[in-house]
Structure 1
Amino acid sequence: MQNTDGRKRSATAPDRGTAVPDRLLSAATRLFAEQGFERTSVQELVSAAGVTKGAMYHYFASKDDLLYAIYQRVLAMQMERLNGFAGAEGPVRERLRQAAIDVVHTTVDNLDDTRIFFRSLHMLSADRQIAVRKERRQYHERFRAMVEEGQRQGVFRADVPADIAVTQYFGAVHHLSTWYRTGGALTGGEVGAYFADLFLAGLSPVESAD
C-alpha cells in the first residue's frame, strides 16, 4: 500500500480484541481517506480489518453502509457534545466558546472522517445524502441558537445575522482537513481556542465612539 504521495505505507494490523463492526469502520475510514471510496474494494476492507466477507456482510450490507456509518458516527458524537454545552448552566459566551473549541478539536481528532465527507458524500444514495445533510443542519441550528441567545441578552452584537456568523465559522472548520497536519506546532484544542476567540471577537458588541 502507498500513501497519496507515492511512498510505501505499512498496513496497520487489525486489533483482534476490538469488535468486528468497529474494526471494519476503522479500516474503512483509513482506506477511504487514503485512496478514496470508489477505489477501495471490499476485499481490501476485510483484509485490513482482519475479518471475512461473511462477517462484514453480517453487519454491513455494502460499502455504502460503511460510508454512511462513518458519517453518522462523528455527527452523532459531535451533536451529543454540543447538546451538553448548549444545555449547561453558565454564561452563554463561555458555553459557546467551549462548543466552538470542541467542534474544531473533534474535527481534528477525526480528520479522515472530514476528508471522506467532502470527497465522497456524493457517492451515497440520494436519501442518505439528504439524511446526512439534515443531521449536519441540525447541528448548525443548535449552535446558532446559542448565538441567538447571546444576541437576545445583549452579549453578542445583533447587527450581524446569526446565520452569517455561523456559516462563516463552519466554513473555516470544514477546511481544516485541507491544511491541518497531526504532529504540527498546534494541537486541535489550541487551534480550536484560536478559532473560537476570533469567532467571539467578531460577535462582541461594537462600542460607540463618544
Structure 2
Amino acid sequence: MKTMNIKEELARVSVDLFSTQGYAKTSVQQIVDAAGVTKGALYHYFNSKDDLLFEIYDRILTLQHRNLEEIAARNLPLEETVRTVCEDVIITSIEWIREGTVFFRSQHMLSPDRMEDVKIRRRRYNEIFGALITRGQAEGLFRRDIPTAVLVANFFANPHYLSFWYQPHGTLTRQQVATQLTDLYLAGLRPAPCEGSDQ
C-alpha cells in the first residue's frame, strides 16, 4: 500500500467497521487488521480512535465549507445563493451518507475535547450560512418573525435526518431530494403575509 493511501484506507475501513459493528465495539486492532497496516502506521496519522471518528465528520464538513465559500463568491442573487448552498448540503450529505450515519450515531462517544472541535467546526459553517439568512431578512426576502438561529437550525435538521429515510438505490435521485427539500425550506423562509404591516 502506498504511503499516501494509508490514511485514506484507515478512514475507509473505520467507516465499514463502525457502521457494521458500532463504534464502541470496534477496536484499534480490528481497524489496523482490516487496513493491513500496523498500529504504528495508524498512530502516525491519528492519535486515537476518537480522531478517526472526528476525521470522518471533518471530511464532510470541510467539503461543504469549501463549497459554501465558493458558492458565496459567485455573487449570485441572494435567494439563488441560498438555494445553491442548501442543495449542495443535501447532495453532499447523500454522497457521504454512510460516513454521516456513522458519525451522528456515535458522536456522543467522542471525548469532550473532540466534541468541542465539532462544535467549533459547525459554528464556523453556520455563521456564514446564518449571515446569508440575516442579509435576506434585512432585504425583506426572508421572514423576520423567527430568529435567524431557528431558521438555520430548521434547515440543518434535513441533512441530519437523511440516514433515517433516504434510500440511495430508491426512486428519488440526490438532485430530486435536494431540490424538493430546498423548495420546502425556501417556502418557509418567505415572509408571512402580515409581516411588515403596521400593527
Q: Assess same fold via TM > 0.5.
A: yes
Question: Contact 1:42–1:63 at 8 Å: present in 2 too?
Answer: yes
Shift of 1:99: 0.4
Partners of 1:96 and 1:183 lie apart in 2 by 28
SS of the equivalent of 1:73 reads helix
Unaligned runs of 5+ in 1: 1-15
TM-score (norm 2): 0.89
Q: Percent identity over the alignment?
A: 43
Partners of 1:86 and 1:145 lie apart in 2 by 11
**1:62 and 2:48 aligned:** yes
**1:182 and 2:164 aligned:** no
SS of the equivalent of 1:19 reads helix
1:205 alignment partner, one of 179, 191, 196: 191
Alignment of 1:65-144 (within 5 A): 65-144=51-130
Number of equivalenced pairs: 193
SS of the equivalent of 1:205 reads coil
Shift of 1:22: 0.6
Unaligned runs of 5+ in 2: 195-199
Shift of 1:132: 0.5
User: What are the superposed Cα offsets for residues 33-60 of structure 1, whole Å, 9 maximum, x if unpaired?
Assistant: 2221111122321232222323222222
Shift of 1:207: 4.4
Higher helix share: 2
Partners of 1:181 and 1:144 lie apart in 2 by 29
User: What are the superposed Cα offsets for residues 165-195 of structure 1, whole Å, 9 maximum, x if unpaired?
Assistant: 2211111221111111211111222211111
Partners of 1:19 and 1:101 lie apart in 2 by 30
Structure 1 stretches of at least 4 aligned residues deviating more than 6 Å after TM superposition = none
TM-score (norm 1): 0.84
The corresponding residue for 1:4 is: none
